[in-house]
Amino acid sequence: MPTYGRTCLERVPATRPSPQQAAWQDLEYGMFCHFGLYTFTGTITGSLWFKAGVNPAYSPSLETVDPGVFNPTDLDANQWVAAAKSAGMKYLVLTAKHHDGFCLWPPATTEYSVKHSPWRGGKGDVVREVAEACHAQGIGFGIYLSPWDAYAYSVLKLDDAAYDEYYKQQLTELLTNYGEVMEGWWDGAGATMRKHDWEGYYRLVKSLQPNVLTTIMGSPSDIRVGNETGIAPDPLWNVVEVSGKDYWQPAEAPTCIRDQHWGWRPDDQDTLRSLDNLLDVYYRSVGHGANLLLNIAPNNRGLLPAADVKRVQEVGEIISKTYANNLLRGHRITASSICKDGERYEPAMAIDGDLDTWWQAEDRITEAWLEVDMGKPVTFNRAVMQEAIVLGQRIRAYQLLWWDGNGWQQASAGTSIGHKKIGLFPEITASKVRLDITAATLSPTIREFGLYYAQPRG
Ligand code: FUL
């Protein structure tokens, strides 16, 4: 977690991220892995789950999938994590339990788990293997634990209070026995069909691991999820109002690498998203300031499909190549206003590639610009802007201008920047650019400002 040092603080209160939220936003890109009995039956949505949700008296005996089908003969969590890393992803979220209630670890609460599968002779624990692989390879580990649980409702016939205890026991095991958990996904699907002790869950989670960030359900949760398209809105504001109070609640954009199938399916061989489609999703999630959580489903052998891995590696390679060198780096940068607190907020901090430093305008200045003179014409078609969100999301409007020799022309413009904004525009050649912040709630900060050139794609 970066240390942010002393700051040129405005006296005005503003909503800011927790250090854990700020660190999570820096991760930007993660892998979602949906894995469970549905990997072996070929479908993630069963009528059982729905019926069990709406009608607790429903008897699912004919539809409950037997744990005996769970047998990923070649399961290798290290392959999943290595693939995520090689694609530039910084964390992995695993479905420890999906809506069917089947547990990928052997819990004390239910027998409906890997314990009754042939895999590793019933002694296996997928959560452990994935957690250990994440920890060993140095990426964040996240757990998805569906509040909606068809098995607990319909087979075990737990009422709301009994289910709260059941769920809390599962949370306790998952947050006690698997090392550090960075993100806890408490899915909203089906979660309103029952009464849940959300506040109790939240308190328990934080008491077990204060650094865990909760996603979706909570009181409110630490992370929000808007939809399942992988696309975040623009503008994207981090502060949301819940019951009259302001909260910093960064956004995560989940989506599937294959046609809306969260789990692996044998009949789903032709729906892998194209490279261009995935790049577009990246620009419309990470490029809008959200985290992208891309689902790649391990197959029934327990491996990520080679084609999916290759595709995300291609995406990762294009992104890392495009953003390897900031064309503004090392050039002369000036600002209309500089916070007078030593040298820490000099404009050069905005192009130094150091995420622990930033430029900041003087207190009470809410319109300001940064100008970079590159000395000679440079060609670019992407701009990356980041605010020092540890001080809140302050910028309300900006435009990127370039000097055509006679006057300023606009390359791109917008309202929110937040953690990151990537501006995409047709190729421009200029030797001078200006980032013009035309509105801010408090003195604006720029953590990084960069221009890049993305090779046109065929
Ligand atoms: C949804 C679930 O119903 C899907 O199966 C999937 O887990 C997705 C991430 O969240 O709400």
Report d(CA 430, CA 335) in Å as an integer.
19
**Is any ligand 1 atom within 6 A of the Cβ of residue 253?**
no
On whether both 24 and 101 belong to a single domain, the answer is: yes
* Average of per-residue pLDDT across 401-410: 98
pTM value is: 0.94
Supply the CATH number for residue 92's domain: 3.20.20.80
Kindly report which listed range (189-198, 288-297, 367-376) carries the lowest average pLDDT score: 189-198
User: End of a domain among 302, 322, 342?
Assistant: 322
On whether both 293 and 336 belong to a single domain, the answer is: no
**Is any ligand 1 atom within 6 A of the Cβ of residue 44?**
yes
Report d(CA 367, CA 345) in Å as an integer.
16
Residue 9 falls inside a structural domain = no
Residue 179 falls inside a structural domain = yes
Report d(CA 390, CA 3) in Å as an integer.
10
Q: Across the beta sheet with 29-33, what order do the strands follow?
A: 213-216, 183-186, 140-145, 91-97, 29-33, 291-295, 251-256, 224-225
Supply the CATH number for residue 395's domain: 2.60.120.260
* Average of per-residue pLDDT across 358-376: 96
Do residues 36 and 45 touch, judged by C-beta distance below 8 A? no
On whether both 226 and 258 belong to a single domain, the answer is: yes
Q: Which atom of ligand 1 lies at the shortest distance from residue 144's CA? A: 7
Report d(CA 222, CA 23) in Å as an integer.
13
How does the average pLDDT of the chain come out, rounded? 91
Buried b (16+ CB within 10 A) or exposed e, 185-207: bbbebbbebbebbbeebbebbee
On whether both 366 and 259 belong to a single domain, the answer is: no
User: End of a domain among 298, 322, 346?
Assistant: 322
Do residues 136 and 129 touch, judged by C-beta distance below 8 A? no
* Average of per-residue pLDDT across 319-333: 97
Q: What is the pLDDT of residues 201-246, one digit of tens each?
A: 999 999 999 999 999 887 789 999 988 999 999 999 999 988 888 8
**Residue 261 pLDDT > 90:** no
Do residues 430 and 378 touch, judged by C-beta distance below 8 A? yes
Residue 5 falls inside a structural domain = no
On whether both 275 and 249 belong to a single domain, the answer is: yes
On whether both 337 and 285 belong to a single domain, the answer is: no
On whether both 371 and 420 belong to a single domain, the answer is: yes
Residue 458 falls inside a structural domain = no
CB atoms within 10 A of CB 112: 24
* Average of per-residue pLDDT across 145-153: 91
Residue 306 falls inside a structural domain = yes
On whether both 358 and 306 belong to a single domain, the answer is: no
**Residue 8 pLDDT > 90:** no
Structural domains in the chain (count): 2
Give residue 381 CA to ligand 1 midpoint distance, Å: 36
Residue 106 falls inside a structural domain = yes
The pLDDT, as a whole number, for residue 254 is 97
On whether both 96 and 172 belong to a single domain, the answer is: yes
* Confidence class for position 457, pLDDT limits 50, 70, 90: confident
User: End of a domain among 259, 293, 322?
Assistant: 322
Q: Which domain holds residue 184?
A: 19-322
On whether both 280 and 376 belong to a single domain, the answer is: no
On whether both 62 and 135 belong to a single domain, the answer is: yes
**Is any ligand 1 atom within 6 A of the Cβ of residue 263?**
no
Residue 256 falls inside a structural domain = yes
Residue 3 falls inside a structural domain = no
Give residue 102 CA to ligand 1 midpoint distance, Å: 15
E runs forming strands in 88-203: 91-97, 140-145, 183-186
**Is any ligand 1 atom within 6 A of the Cβ of residue 262?**
yes
The pLDDT, as a whole number, for residue 378 is 98
The pLDDT, as a whole number, for residue 13 is 58
On whether both 315 and 355 belong to a single domain, the answer is: no
**Is any ligand 1 atom within 6 A of the Cβ of residue 189?**
yes
